[in-house]
Structure 1
Amino acid sequence: MAASRAAAVTLATLAERFDLVVQGSAAQTAIRGVCALEPGKPDCIAFAENAGQIESINRSAAAAVICPAAVAEAIESPVLVAKQPRLAFARVAALFERPSAPAGIHARAVVAETAQIDTQASIAANVIVGEHSVIAAGAVIGANTVIGEGVRIGADTRIASNCSIGDDVRMGERVSIEANAVIGGRGFGLVHNGRGWEAIPQMGSVHLGDDVEIGAGTTVDRGALDDTVIARGAKIDNQVHIAHNCRIGEHTVIAGCTGIAGSCTIGANCMIGGGVGIGDHVHIADGVIITAASQVPKNIDRGGVYSSTFRAMPATGWRKRLALFRQLDKIERRLRRVERAGLSSENNE
């Protein structure tokens, strides 16, 4: 990764901010970005997790390394000592992920007279902000994004370009929404009238808690009556669909291309793999892990790891198994006849 355009920070500053320890006299070493351990980059910081990486540290061009104490004792490079180097690195990297956006409203933005935008918020070109919406300090709204009426956006929230935020959506602080996401679109509520389908009004909205992340191209539908809720710290990947009236628990993570039907409840600290399909009105308990491409048509009432798919195999083997699957009814009927015949023989003896 190239060095960020953000201002340099010293190891001493990073240590104080993230509760780390500077080894030796390297406190004033300047850091302008993050990098991989090898080859490393000057003015950037890398990380290492075990003694097996000591030779890589010695070869690295990185200005400093985040590593555990046992590794730090064996090297001479400028070091930040951390109990969890990967976690510490992630937090440091976040400082350099994006340059700070300038505060203010771009001349080509369209902002309703009744909207309230903090002077420390940043509104890019071609953004539209609807009536009575409120945008707090430090929030950044990317180009071409549309903010509906009555929206509440918390401090330090970042919404990328080309997003659509529906009416009355509420977001906490430090929410992150990537490009082309749609938050608060109409839910897929329909009723059949005997001849065709009629739409059910979707009158709720969406509530995103603090530190929620929404990936690029993801859609979160507004509720039919109550709000769709994604709780604090939940992380949603790219191209996920969350239907109306769903509730996602705190610190749950959902990988890309998962589809969640309406009125589902997913507990806290769950991990949902990519391409999972969850049926409507399903309840999933706290601490559930669902592996990729699984189908979940019914409730999961206790924590654990759940799967419902076949692993990939050579196509010829799969075709043979598929042929057997198609014969399962016949095989079952034949087995029952054999079992009945066996019982009859035993009774006659």
Structure 2
Amino acid sequence: MSWLVTGGAGYIGSHVVRALTGAGMTAVVLDDLSSGRPSFVPGDVTLVEGSILDRELVERTLREHAVTGVIHVAGFKYAGVSVQRPLHTYAQNVEGTRIILEAMAAADVSNIVFSSSAAVFGTPDVPLVEEDTAKRPSSPYGESKLIGEWLLRDQAIATAASEHPLRHTSLRYFNVVGSADPSVYDVSPHNLFPIVFEALLAGTTPRIFGDDYDTPDGTNVRDYVHVGDIALAHVAAAKRLESGEPIEAAYNLGSGDGLSVKQIMDAMVRVTGIEFVPEVGPRRPGDPDRIVATGALAARDLDWRMRHTVDEMVRSGWEARRSAG
């Protein structure tokens, strides 16, 4: 028995793989390597190279590796870029999820943990987002993740009376940072931490996007959560599904208070010892002012908690990136 991790050669997915194997579970990776790296996959874990859009490949992988559940991390994850590439975003995130569910049904695989996003909420009109807060995504990316949640819900309803009813949960989070393994780091050209790290390594001034948001210091506020904590929550959800325990349809993996981009920049200076004042560029389309969520429900069911301070998150990410050369 094993768990298939789609996107398991990526930054988040490879941490999920490590958390699975660390919990004594068997992991199999499916990744098209469009952004993932083979070197991020542990040597004792099977890597199947291919796309989640390849229906035959997905089903064959499920069958050949006796998969009992899927942790679906693969997808196009850039909210700002999704505004310019909506069709690509929907193909990867909506059609990809539909194909995975179809292949799961054909292979009698009934457990799935879906990597969703706090982007499903858009710009909330409440100070602290809860699971039932109104969903008003402000980008094609956020819309695609919300549709993914609907697909899981509808397939669960459709299979409820079958021999293998779908059991599912969606984990919503926003800015995933840091590293829990020095050989793995965030390679995204669009995420804040790698943007800053690459600038510092190149001896240039980091750039942030917008300082006129409706927040106390003008920079947007997010839940910055450590990738190792996120990975552990995925494994806890997988275990809960596999054991048949009750599970919620969705959990917010939130910090409860959030951090602004300026606060992150201040931590970057403290941790790296490199003094700088970031340049300010224009806002990115689709970026809301503030998204901060409570993690109370996930704390109850998935042992979710913030195990790292902001300086620890920055330090682990910085050290992993520097060790890569």
Relative to the length of structure 2, the TM-score reads 0.23
Q: TM-score under structure 1 normalisation?
A: 0.22
More strand by share: 1
Which of the two has higher C-alpha Rg? 1
Q: Which has the higher helix share?
A: 2
